[in-house]
Structure 1
Amino acid sequence: MWYSILLRTIVLNSAIFKTMENWLRPEAYGDHSMADMSYVTSNKLTDESNQLQRNKRLKILAIGAAMTLALLFIHVTIAMIVMFGTFIAWVMQQGDDILKAGAAGEDKAIRVLSQLPDGFTVFNQVNIPNAGSKVGFNEADIIVSGPNTVFVIEVKHNNGHIHANIDDDEWHVEKTSRKGSIYSKTMRNPIAQVKRLVWLLSEEMTRTKSRGWIQGIVCFTNEEANIVLDKASKIPVVSIADLVTYIKECDASQAKANHPRVARCIESLKTASV
Protein backbone atom coordinates (compact mmCIF):
# COMPACT_ATOMS: atom_id res chain seq x y z
CA MET A 1 0.00 0.00 0.00
CA TRP A 2 2.79 2.41 0.86
CA TYR A 3 4.28 1.71 -2.59
CA SER A 4 1.00 2.73 -4.26
CA ILE A 5 0.80 5.97 -2.23
CA LEU A 6 4.43 6.79 -3.07
CA LEU A 7 3.81 6.19 -6.78
CA ARG A 8 0.70 8.43 -6.80
CA THR A 9 2.67 11.17 -4.99
CA ILE A 10 5.46 11.04 -7.58
CA VAL A 11 2.97 11.22 -10.45
CA LEU A 12 1.10 14.11 -8.81
CA ASN A 13 4.31 16.04 -8.19
CA SER A 14 5.44 15.45 -11.77
CA ALA A 15 2.14 16.86 -13.03
CA ILE A 16 2.49 19.91 -10.78
CA PHE A 17 6.07 20.56 -11.90
CA LYS A 18 5.04 20.14 -15.56
CA THR A 19 2.25 22.70 -15.13
CA MET A 20 4.63 25.14 -13.44
CA GLU A 21 7.14 24.63 -16.25
CA ASN A 22 4.49 25.49 -18.82
CA TRP A 23 3.53 28.61 -16.86
CA LEU A 24 7.16 29.75 -16.76
CA ARG A 25 7.70 29.39 -20.49
CA PRO A 26 7.99 32.75 -22.32
CA GLU A 27 5.21 31.73 -24.73
CA ALA A 28 2.78 31.80 -21.83
CA TYR A 29 3.19 35.58 -21.69
CA GLY A 30 3.17 36.28 -25.40
CA ASP A 31 5.99 36.80 -27.88
CA HIS A 32 9.26 37.52 -26.10
CA SER A 33 11.50 37.48 -29.17
CA MET A 34 14.58 39.56 -28.69
CA ALA A 35 17.05 41.33 -30.96
CA ASP A 36 19.50 39.36 -33.09
CA MET A 37 22.78 39.40 -31.13
CA SER A 38 24.62 36.87 -33.29
CA TYR A 39 26.97 39.52 -34.73
CA VAL A 40 28.21 40.68 -31.31
CA THR A 41 31.81 39.55 -30.86
CA SER A 42 34.25 39.70 -27.95
CA ASN A 43 35.16 43.25 -26.99
CA LYS A 44 38.44 44.37 -28.60
CA LEU A 45 39.05 46.85 -25.78
CA THR A 46 38.91 44.03 -23.24
CA ASP A 47 41.25 41.94 -25.39
CA GLU A 48 43.70 44.87 -25.68
CA SER A 49 43.60 45.54 -21.95
CA ASN A 50 44.15 41.86 -21.16
CA GLN A 51 47.08 41.73 -23.59
CA LEU A 52 48.65 44.79 -21.99
CA GLN A 53 48.16 43.20 -18.59
CA ARG A 54 49.85 39.99 -19.74
CA ASN A 55 52.79 41.89 -21.28
CA LYS A 56 53.33 44.02 -18.17
CA ARG A 57 53.07 40.99 -15.88
CA LEU A 58 55.60 39.08 -17.97
CA LYS A 59 57.99 42.05 -17.77
CA ILE A 60 57.55 42.27 -13.98
CA LEU A 61 58.06 38.52 -13.66
CA ALA A 62 61.21 38.54 -15.81
CA ILE A 63 62.81 41.44 -13.91
CA GLY A 64 61.78 40.03 -10.51
CA ALA A 65 63.06 36.55 -11.33
CA ALA A 66 66.40 37.89 -12.55
CA MET A 67 66.87 40.03 -9.42
CA THR A 68 65.82 37.16 -7.13
CA LEU A 69 68.27 34.73 -8.73
CA ALA A 70 71.09 37.25 -8.55
CA LEU A 71 70.40 38.04 -4.89
CA LEU A 72 70.24 34.36 -3.89
CA PHE A 73 74.01 34.27 -4.15
CA ILE A 74 74.37 37.40 -2.01
CA HIS A 75 71.62 37.46 0.61
CA VAL A 76 68.80 34.93 0.76
CA THR A 77 66.52 37.08 2.93
CA ILE A 78 66.73 40.04 0.55
CA ALA A 79 66.10 37.66 -2.37
CA MET A 80 62.94 36.40 -0.66
CA ILE A 81 61.78 40.00 -0.06
CA VAL A 82 62.32 40.82 -3.75
CA MET A 83 60.45 37.68 -4.76
CA PHE A 84 57.52 38.65 -2.53
CA GLY A 85 57.56 42.22 -3.91
CA THR A 86 57.54 40.81 -7.45
CA PHE A 87 54.48 38.73 -6.61
CA ILE A 88 52.65 41.78 -5.19
CA ALA A 89 53.53 43.88 -8.27
CA TRP A 90 52.35 41.04 -10.53
CA VAL A 91 48.99 40.84 -8.75
CA MET A 92 48.51 44.62 -8.69
CA GLN A 93 48.98 44.95 -12.45
CA GLN A 94 45.40 45.10 -13.75
CA GLY A 95 45.81 46.38 -17.32
CA ASP A 96 44.78 49.72 -18.83
CA ASP A 97 42.06 51.56 -16.87
CA ILE A 98 40.91 53.63 -19.87
CA LEU A 99 40.49 50.57 -22.07
CA LYS A 100 38.68 48.72 -19.29
CA ALA A 101 36.30 51.64 -18.72
CA GLY A 102 35.55 51.85 -22.44
CA ALA A 103 34.91 48.12 -22.59
CA ALA A 104 32.64 48.28 -19.53
CA GLY A 105 30.53 50.99 -21.18
CA GLU A 106 30.20 49.15 -24.47
CA ASP A 107 29.40 45.84 -22.78
CA LYS A 108 26.74 47.53 -20.66
CA ALA A 109 25.15 49.07 -23.76
CA ILE A 110 25.18 45.69 -25.52
CA ARG A 111 23.38 44.05 -22.59
CA VAL A 112 20.70 46.75 -22.64
CA LEU A 113 20.29 46.58 -26.43
CA SER A 114 19.62 42.84 -26.21
CA GLN A 115 16.21 43.88 -24.82
CA LEU A 116 15.20 45.28 -28.21
CA PRO A 117 12.40 43.29 -29.89
CA ASP A 118 12.60 40.98 -32.87
CA GLY A 119 13.46 42.82 -36.08
CA PHE A 120 16.52 44.60 -34.65
CA THR A 121 20.08 43.38 -35.21
CA VAL A 122 22.97 44.55 -33.04
CA PHE A 123 26.56 44.85 -34.31
CA ASN A 124 29.51 45.91 -32.16
CA GLN A 125 32.85 47.44 -33.16
CA VAL A 126 32.22 47.82 -36.88
CA ASN A 127 34.96 49.24 -39.11
CA ILE A 128 33.54 51.71 -41.62
CA PRO A 129 35.85 52.43 -44.60
CA ASN A 130 37.52 55.85 -44.57
CA ALA A 131 40.12 56.58 -47.21
CA GLY A 132 41.28 59.62 -45.26
CA SER A 133 42.17 57.62 -42.15
CA LYS A 134 45.70 56.31 -41.54
CA VAL A 135 44.30 52.83 -40.89
CA GLY A 136 41.71 53.02 -43.68
CA PHE A 137 38.61 52.98 -41.47
CA ASN A 138 36.79 54.51 -38.49
CA GLU A 139 35.32 52.19 -35.87
CA ALA A 140 31.70 52.51 -34.80
CA ASP A 141 31.16 51.30 -31.22
CA ILE A 142 27.71 49.87 -31.99
CA ILE A 143 25.39 49.79 -34.98
CA VAL A 144 21.77 48.69 -34.62
CA SER A 145 19.84 47.80 -37.76
CA GLY A 146 16.11 48.19 -37.20
CA PRO A 147 13.13 47.65 -39.52
CA ASN A 148 13.09 51.33 -40.56
CA THR A 149 16.27 52.94 -39.22
CA VAL A 150 19.98 52.25 -38.81
CA PHE A 151 21.41 53.58 -35.53
CA VAL A 152 25.08 54.43 -35.12
CA ILE A 153 25.85 54.61 -31.40
CA GLU A 154 28.87 56.28 -29.85
CA VAL A 155 29.25 54.94 -26.31
CA LYS A 156 30.84 57.00 -23.54
CA HIS A 157 31.49 55.77 -20.00
CA ASN A 158 32.69 59.12 -18.64
CA ASN A 159 31.43 60.41 -15.30
CA GLY A 160 31.30 63.87 -13.75
CA HIS A 161 29.58 67.11 -14.70
CA ILE A 162 29.99 67.52 -18.47
CA HIS A 163 29.58 70.94 -20.07
CA ALA A 164 28.77 70.19 -23.71
CA ASN A 165 29.06 72.90 -26.35
CA ILE A 166 27.97 70.81 -29.30
CA ASP A 167 30.03 72.76 -31.87
CA ASP A 168 33.32 72.60 -29.92
CA ASP A 169 36.01 70.00 -30.56
CA GLU A 170 36.23 69.18 -26.86
CA TRP A 171 33.83 69.11 -23.92
CA HIS A 172 34.81 70.19 -20.42
CA VAL A 173 34.38 67.70 -17.60
CA GLU A 174 34.34 68.60 -13.91
CA LYS A 175 35.11 65.81 -11.46
CA THR A 176 35.44 65.49 -7.72
CA SER A 177 38.48 63.70 -6.32
CA ARG A 178 38.33 61.25 -3.43
CA LYS A 179 39.50 64.04 -1.14
CA GLY A 180 36.62 66.27 -2.26
CA SER A 181 38.56 68.71 -4.45
CA ILE A 182 37.15 69.64 -7.88
CA TYR A 183 39.32 69.32 -10.97
CA SER A 184 38.72 69.65 -14.72
CA LYS A 185 39.65 67.69 -17.80
CA THR A 186 38.44 67.46 -21.39
CA MET A 187 36.95 64.79 -23.64
CA ARG A 188 36.50 64.62 -27.39
CA ASN A 189 33.14 65.83 -28.67
CA PRO A 190 31.20 62.56 -29.19
CA ILE A 191 28.54 64.29 -31.29
CA ALA A 192 31.21 65.24 -33.84
CA GLN A 193 32.52 61.67 -33.72
CA VAL A 194 29.15 60.08 -34.43
CA LYS A 195 28.34 62.63 -37.16
CA ARG A 196 31.50 61.53 -38.94
CA LEU A 197 30.54 57.87 -38.59
CA VAL A 198 27.01 58.52 -39.92
CA TRP A 199 28.46 60.25 -42.97
CA LEU A 200 30.95 57.44 -43.63
CA LEU A 201 28.24 54.79 -43.30
CA SER A 202 25.91 56.72 -45.62
CA GLU A 203 28.72 56.83 -48.21
CA GLU A 204 29.21 53.09 -47.89
CA MET A 205 25.47 52.42 -48.16
CA THR A 206 25.28 54.62 -51.26
CA ARG A 207 28.18 52.71 -52.78
CA THR A 208 26.39 49.40 -52.21
CA LYS A 209 23.03 50.85 -53.35
CA SER A 210 21.49 50.32 -49.91
CA ARG A 211 18.68 52.68 -49.02
CA GLY A 212 17.98 53.46 -45.37
CA TRP A 213 17.71 56.23 -42.79
CA ILE A 214 20.71 56.55 -40.47
CA GLN A 215 20.39 58.12 -37.02
CA GLY A 216 23.39 58.84 -34.81
CA ILE A 217 23.17 58.53 -31.02
CA VAL A 218 25.54 59.40 -28.19
CA CYS A 219 24.93 57.18 -25.17
CA PHE A 220 26.43 57.77 -21.73
CA THR A 221 26.50 54.51 -19.79
CA ASN A 222 27.83 55.84 -16.50
CA GLU A 223 25.06 56.74 -14.03
CA GLU A 224 27.37 59.33 -12.47
CA ALA A 225 27.52 61.41 -15.67
CA ASN A 226 25.60 64.69 -15.71
CA ILE A 227 25.51 66.20 -19.21
CA VAL A 228 24.39 69.75 -19.94
CA LEU A 229 24.09 70.71 -23.63
CA ASP A 230 24.41 74.37 -24.62
CA LYS A 231 21.66 73.95 -27.25
CA ALA A 232 19.47 71.35 -28.93
CA SER A 233 21.24 68.76 -31.06
CA LYS A 234 20.03 66.68 -34.00
CA ILE A 235 22.18 63.91 -32.56
CA PRO A 236 20.47 62.87 -29.30
CA VAL A 237 22.55 62.46 -26.17
CA VAL A 238 20.85 59.83 -24.04
CA SER A 239 21.51 57.91 -20.84
CA ILE A 240 21.71 54.14 -20.84
CA ALA A 241 18.27 54.02 -19.19
CA ASP A 242 16.66 55.79 -22.17
CA LEU A 243 18.54 54.08 -25.00
CA VAL A 244 16.13 51.26 -25.88
CA THR A 245 13.05 53.48 -25.59
CA TYR A 246 14.56 56.09 -27.90
CA ILE A 247 15.52 53.49 -30.52
CA LYS A 248 12.09 51.87 -30.57
CA GLU A 249 10.24 55.19 -30.79
CA CYS A 250 12.56 56.64 -33.42
CA ASP A 251 12.40 53.52 -35.57
CA ALA A 252 8.60 53.46 -35.40
CA SER A 253 8.44 57.12 -36.51
CA GLN A 254 10.06 56.35 -39.87
CA ALA A 255 7.43 55.55 -42.48
CA LYS A 256 9.72 53.94 -45.04
CA ALA A 257 11.28 50.55 -44.30
CA ASN A 258 14.99 49.89 -44.81
CA HIS A 259 16.03 48.28 -48.06
CA PRO A 260 16.99 44.59 -47.58
CA ARG A 261 20.52 45.43 -48.74
CA VAL A 262 21.04 47.66 -45.67
CA ALA A 263 21.42 44.76 -43.26
CA ARG A 264 23.67 42.92 -45.73
CA CYS A 265 25.87 46.02 -46.06
CA ILE A 266 26.39 46.21 -42.30
CA GLU A 267 26.88 42.45 -42.06
CA SER A 268 29.69 42.62 -44.62
CA LEU A 269 31.34 45.51 -42.75
CA LYS A 270 31.16 43.57 -39.48
CA THR A 271 32.54 40.41 -41.10
CA ALA A 272 35.49 42.40 -42.44
CA SER A 273 36.07 43.91 -38.97
CA VAL A 274 36.60 40.59 -37.20
Structure 2
Amino acid sequence: MAQIINKSNHLRKEIIVAYLKMIVCFIAAVFCMILAVYTYGFSLIATLVLGVYIKKMKTNISIVKSGLEGEKEVLNLLADLPKRYKVISDILIQGKNTSSQIDYVVVGSNGIFIIEAKNIKGTIKGKTGSRYLTQIKKGKGGREYSRQLYNPALQVKGHVLGLTKLLNKNNVHSYIHGMVYFANEDSKVDFKSNDIVVLSKSKDNLLKYIKTYKKDGVKLTPKEQVEITGILKKQVM
Protein backbone atom coordinates (compact mmCIF):
# COMPACT_ATOMS: atom_id res chain seq x y z
CA MET A 1 0.00 0.00 0.00
CA ALA A 2 1.28 3.47 -0.92
CA GLN A 3 2.10 6.05 1.72
CA ILE A 4 -0.69 8.67 1.85
CA ILE A 5 0.66 12.02 3.04
CA ASN A 6 -2.61 13.96 3.30
CA LYS A 7 -6.16 12.60 3.54
CA SER A 8 -7.97 15.90 4.06
CA ASN A 9 -9.65 17.82 1.23
CA HIS A 10 -10.40 21.52 0.82
CA LEU A 11 -13.74 20.64 -0.83
CA ARG A 12 -15.11 19.56 2.56
CA LYS A 13 -14.48 23.07 3.87
CA GLU A 14 -16.21 24.53 0.81
CA ILE A 15 -19.29 22.39 1.43
CA ILE A 16 -19.48 23.39 5.12
CA VAL A 17 -19.17 27.09 4.23
CA ALA A 18 -21.81 26.73 1.50
CA TYR A 19 -24.24 25.05 3.91
CA LEU A 20 -23.72 27.81 6.48
CA LYS A 21 -24.42 30.47 3.85
CA MET A 22 -27.54 28.62 2.72
CA ILE A 23 -28.85 28.41 6.30
CA VAL A 24 -28.28 32.14 6.80
CA CYS A 25 -30.11 32.88 3.54
CA PHE A 26 -33.00 30.62 4.54
CA ILE A 27 -33.36 32.38 7.90
CA ALA A 28 -33.23 35.74 6.12
CA ALA A 29 -35.92 34.58 3.65
CA VAL A 30 -38.22 33.50 6.49
CA PHE A 31 -37.65 36.85 8.22
CA CYS A 32 -38.52 38.71 5.00
CA MET A 33 -41.74 36.70 4.67
CA ILE A 34 -42.76 37.66 8.19
CA LEU A 35 -41.77 41.25 7.53
CA ALA A 36 -44.01 41.30 4.45
CA VAL A 37 -47.03 41.69 6.75
CA TYR A 38 -45.70 45.06 7.88
CA THR A 39 -44.24 46.24 4.55
CA TYR A 40 -47.30 45.56 2.39
CA GLY A 41 -45.52 42.72 0.63
CA PHE A 42 -42.46 44.68 -0.52
CA SER A 43 -40.06 42.42 1.39
CA LEU A 44 -41.35 39.46 -0.66
CA ILE A 45 -39.08 40.68 -3.47
CA ALA A 46 -36.10 40.05 -1.20
CA THR A 47 -37.57 36.64 -0.35
CA LEU A 48 -37.75 35.71 -4.05
CA VAL A 49 -34.16 36.86 -4.63
CA LEU A 50 -32.97 34.83 -1.65
CA GLY A 51 -34.94 31.83 -2.91
CA VAL A 52 -33.17 31.97 -6.29
CA TYR A 53 -29.81 32.30 -4.53
CA ILE A 54 -30.56 29.29 -2.27
CA LYS A 55 -31.51 27.18 -5.31
CA LYS A 56 -28.27 28.13 -7.03
CA MET A 57 -26.26 27.27 -3.91
CA LYS A 58 -27.94 23.84 -3.68
CA THR A 59 -26.84 23.13 -7.25
CA ASN A 60 -23.27 24.24 -6.47
CA ILE A 61 -23.19 22.06 -3.34
CA SER A 62 -24.31 19.08 -5.42
CA ILE A 63 -21.47 19.69 -7.91
CA VAL A 64 -18.87 20.05 -5.14
CA LYS A 65 -20.15 16.88 -3.44
CA SER A 66 -19.75 14.98 -6.69
CA GLY A 67 -16.18 16.28 -7.01
CA LEU A 68 -15.42 15.31 -3.42
CA GLU A 69 -16.74 11.77 -3.94
CA GLY A 70 -14.63 11.41 -7.08
CA GLU A 71 -11.46 12.65 -5.40
CA LYS A 72 -12.03 10.38 -2.40
CA GLU A 73 -12.47 7.40 -4.72
CA VAL A 74 -9.28 8.22 -6.63
CA LEU A 75 -7.32 8.65 -3.38
CA ASN A 76 -8.49 5.20 -2.24
CA LEU A 77 -7.43 3.84 -5.63
CA LEU A 78 -3.97 5.42 -5.45
CA ALA A 79 -3.54 3.96 -1.97
CA ASP A 80 -3.35 0.56 -3.67
CA LEU A 81 -0.07 1.49 -5.36
CA PRO A 82 2.98 -0.38 -4.00
CA LYS A 83 4.42 0.98 -0.74
CA ARG A 84 7.41 2.47 -2.56
CA TYR A 85 5.10 5.23 -3.84
CA LYS A 86 4.11 8.36 -1.93
CA VAL A 87 0.77 10.08 -2.61
CA ILE A 88 0.30 13.72 -1.59
CA SER A 89 -3.19 15.14 -2.04
CA ASP A 90 -4.67 18.64 -2.07
CA ILE A 91 -1.57 20.74 -2.72
CA LEU A 92 -1.59 24.50 -3.20
CA ILE A 93 1.32 26.11 -5.03
CA GLN A 94 1.30 29.89 -4.84
CA GLY A 95 3.13 31.75 -7.59
CA LYS A 96 3.77 35.46 -8.00
CA ASN A 97 0.50 36.17 -9.80
CA THR A 98 -1.01 32.68 -10.06
CA SER A 99 -1.81 29.67 -7.92
CA SER A 100 -2.28 25.97 -8.62
CA GLN A 101 -4.51 23.65 -6.59
CA ILE A 102 -3.36 20.12 -7.41
CA ASP A 103 -5.54 17.08 -6.63
CA TYR A 104 -2.71 14.53 -6.32
CA VAL A 105 1.02 14.21 -6.77
CA VAL A 106 2.47 10.70 -6.82
CA VAL A 107 6.19 10.28 -6.22
CA GLY A 108 8.00 7.06 -7.06
CA SER A 109 11.30 5.80 -8.42
CA ASN A 110 9.95 6.12 -11.98
CA GLY A 111 9.00 9.77 -11.64
CA ILE A 112 6.65 12.47 -10.39
CA PHE A 113 3.01 12.32 -11.48
CA ILE A 114 0.43 15.08 -11.26
CA ILE A 115 -3.14 13.75 -11.43
CA GLU A 116 -6.22 15.90 -11.95
CA ALA A 117 -9.39 13.89 -11.15
CA LYS A 118 -12.75 14.65 -12.78
CA ASN A 119 -15.93 12.94 -11.59
CA ILE A 120 -18.29 13.90 -14.41
CA LYS A 121 -20.74 11.88 -16.48
CA GLY A 122 -21.59 11.90 -20.15
CA THR A 123 -19.55 12.31 -23.30
CA ILE A 124 -16.66 14.77 -23.12
CA LYS A 125 -15.56 16.07 -26.49
CA GLY A 126 -12.94 18.57 -27.60
CA LYS A 127 -10.02 19.28 -29.87
CA THR A 128 -6.38 19.13 -28.85
CA GLY A 129 -5.44 22.45 -27.29
CA SER A 130 -9.06 23.70 -27.08
CA ARG A 131 -9.64 26.04 -24.17
CA TYR A 132 -13.04 24.49 -23.45
CA LEU A 133 -14.48 21.00 -23.82
CA THR A 134 -18.12 20.06 -24.37
CA GLN A 135 -19.89 17.76 -21.92
CA ILE A 136 -22.98 16.06 -23.36
CA LYS A 137 -25.31 14.22 -20.99
CA LYS A 138 -28.95 13.31 -20.49
CA GLY A 139 -31.23 14.88 -17.91
CA LYS A 140 -33.80 13.14 -15.73
CA GLY A 141 -36.38 13.18 -18.51
CA GLY A 142 -33.95 11.65 -21.00
CA ARG A 143 -33.45 14.96 -22.77
CA GLU A 144 -29.89 15.53 -24.00
CA TYR A 145 -28.13 18.77 -23.13
CA SER A 146 -24.58 20.09 -23.18
CA ARG A 147 -22.37 22.52 -21.28
CA GLN A 148 -18.87 23.91 -21.64
CA LEU A 149 -16.11 23.09 -19.18
CA TYR A 150 -12.55 24.33 -18.95
CA ASN A 151 -10.10 21.88 -20.51
CA PRO A 152 -8.48 20.02 -17.57
CA ALA A 153 -5.44 19.23 -19.74
CA LEU A 154 -4.65 22.96 -19.87
CA GLN A 155 -5.25 23.07 -16.12
CA VAL A 156 -2.68 20.32 -15.59
CA LYS A 157 -0.17 22.12 -17.81
CA GLY A 158 -0.36 25.02 -15.37
CA HIS A 159 0.10 22.63 -12.45
CA VAL A 160 3.19 21.10 -14.07
CA LEU A 161 4.69 24.54 -14.62
CA GLY A 162 3.93 25.63 -11.03
CA LEU A 163 5.39 22.47 -9.50
CA THR A 164 8.45 22.61 -11.74
CA LYS A 165 9.18 26.16 -10.56
CA LEU A 166 8.71 25.15 -6.92
CA LEU A 167 11.09 22.20 -7.20
CA ASN A 168 13.65 24.24 -9.14
CA LYS A 169 13.64 26.81 -6.31
CA ASN A 170 14.63 23.96 -4.02
CA ASN A 171 17.37 22.77 -6.41
CA VAL A 172 15.37 19.74 -7.54
CA HIS A 173 15.27 19.23 -11.29
CA SER A 174 13.12 16.35 -12.44
CA TYR A 175 10.61 15.70 -15.20
CA ILE A 176 6.94 15.91 -14.10
CA HIS A 177 4.32 13.79 -15.84
CA GLY A 178 0.86 15.41 -16.06
CA MET A 179 -2.33 13.36 -16.20
CA VAL A 180 -6.11 13.85 -16.29
CA TYR A 181 -8.21 10.98 -14.94
CA PHE A 182 -11.97 10.80 -15.50
CA ALA A 183 -13.07 8.81 -12.46
CA ASN A 184 -16.73 8.29 -13.36
CA GLU A 185 -17.61 5.00 -15.06
CA ASP A 186 -20.36 6.78 -17.00
CA SER A 187 -17.95 9.18 -18.70
CA LYS A 188 -17.00 8.68 -22.33
CA VAL A 189 -13.90 10.68 -23.20
CA ASP A 190 -13.44 11.74 -26.79
CA PHE A 191 -10.45 14.09 -26.72
CA LYS A 192 -6.67 13.92 -26.43
CA SER A 193 -3.83 16.22 -25.50
CA ASN A 194 -0.36 16.41 -27.01
CA ASP A 195 1.36 17.05 -23.66
CA ILE A 196 -0.97 15.60 -21.01
CA VAL A 197 -2.10 11.99 -20.75
CA VAL A 198 -5.90 11.58 -20.60
CA LEU A 199 -7.27 8.42 -18.96
CA SER A 200 -10.78 7.31 -18.04
CA LYS A 201 -12.04 4.71 -15.57
CA SER A 202 -14.23 3.08 -18.20
CA LYS A 203 -11.30 1.98 -20.35
CA ASP A 204 -7.96 2.61 -18.59
CA ASN A 205 -6.13 1.19 -15.57
CA LEU A 206 -4.64 4.14 -13.70
CA LEU A 207 -2.50 2.10 -11.31
CA LYS A 208 -1.05 -0.07 -14.07
CA TYR A 209 -0.20 3.03 -16.09
CA ILE A 210 1.71 4.61 -13.19
CA LYS A 211 3.54 1.42 -12.21
CA THR A 212 4.68 0.62 -15.76
CA TYR A 213 5.49 4.18 -16.83
CA LYS A 214 9.04 4.72 -18.05
CA LYS A 215 10.82 7.75 -19.43
CA ASP A 216 14.45 7.81 -20.50
CA GLY A 217 16.67 9.46 -17.94
CA VAL A 218 14.04 9.51 -15.17
CA LYS A 219 15.09 7.53 -12.12
CA LEU A 220 14.59 8.94 -8.63
CA THR A 221 16.68 7.58 -5.78
CA PRO A 222 15.06 6.98 -2.36
CA LYS A 223 16.83 10.07 -1.06
CA GLU A 224 15.47 12.23 -3.90
CA GLN A 225 11.96 10.88 -3.32
CA VAL A 226 12.13 11.81 0.37
CA GLU A 227 13.41 15.29 -0.51
CA ILE A 228 10.63 15.88 -3.07
CA THR A 229 7.97 14.56 -0.69
CA GLY A 230 9.23 16.86 2.05
CA ILE A 231 8.93 19.90 -0.24
CA LEU A 232 5.37 18.93 -1.25
CA LYS A 233 4.23 18.30 2.35
CA LYS A 234 4.81 22.00 3.06
CA GLN A 235 2.31 22.89 0.31
CA VAL A 236 -0.59 20.77 1.61
CA MET A 237 -3.77 22.82 2.03
Q: Where do 5+ consecutive residues of structure 1 fail to align?
A: 1-33, 72-88
Question: What corresponds to 2:72 in structure 1?
Answer: 107
Q: Residue in 2 aligned with 1:164? A: 126
Q: How does 1:100-249 map to 2 (within 5 A)?
A: 100-133=65-98, 137-229=99-191, 233-240=194-201, 242-249=205-212
For normalisation by structure 2, the TM-score amounts to: 0.80
Distance 1:257 1:272 in 2: 21
Note the C-alpha offset of 1:196. Answer: 1.4
- Distance in 2, matches of 1:182 and 1:70, equals 41
User: Does structure 2 retain, via aligned residues, the 8 Å contact 1:213–1:258?
Assistant: no
Equivalent residues, number: 219
Cα distance, 1:62 vs structure 2? 5.7
Structure-2 residue corresponding to 1:8: none
1:54-78 deviations in Å (ceiling 9; x for gaps)? 331244246547867999xxxxxxx
Letter paired with 1:187 = L
In structure 1, the partner of 2:47 is: none
Matching residue's letter, 1:206: N
1:161: Cα distance to partner? 0.9
For the residue of structure 2 that corresponds to 1:273, the secondary structure is: coil
Displacement after TM superposition at 1:130 (Å): 1.7
CA contact under 8 A between 2:86 and 2:229: conserved in structure 1? no
Partner residue, 1:271: 234
Larger helix share, 1 or 2: 1
Match of 2:7 among 41, 51, 57: 41
Q: TM-score by structure 1 length?
A: 0.70
Q: For 1:155 and 1:202, how far apart are their aligned partners in 2? A: 20
Q: In the aligned structure 1, how far is the partner of 2:180 from the partner of 2:95?
A: 21
Deviations 1:27-71 (A, max 9, x none): xxxxxxx1001x223211122112211331244246547867999
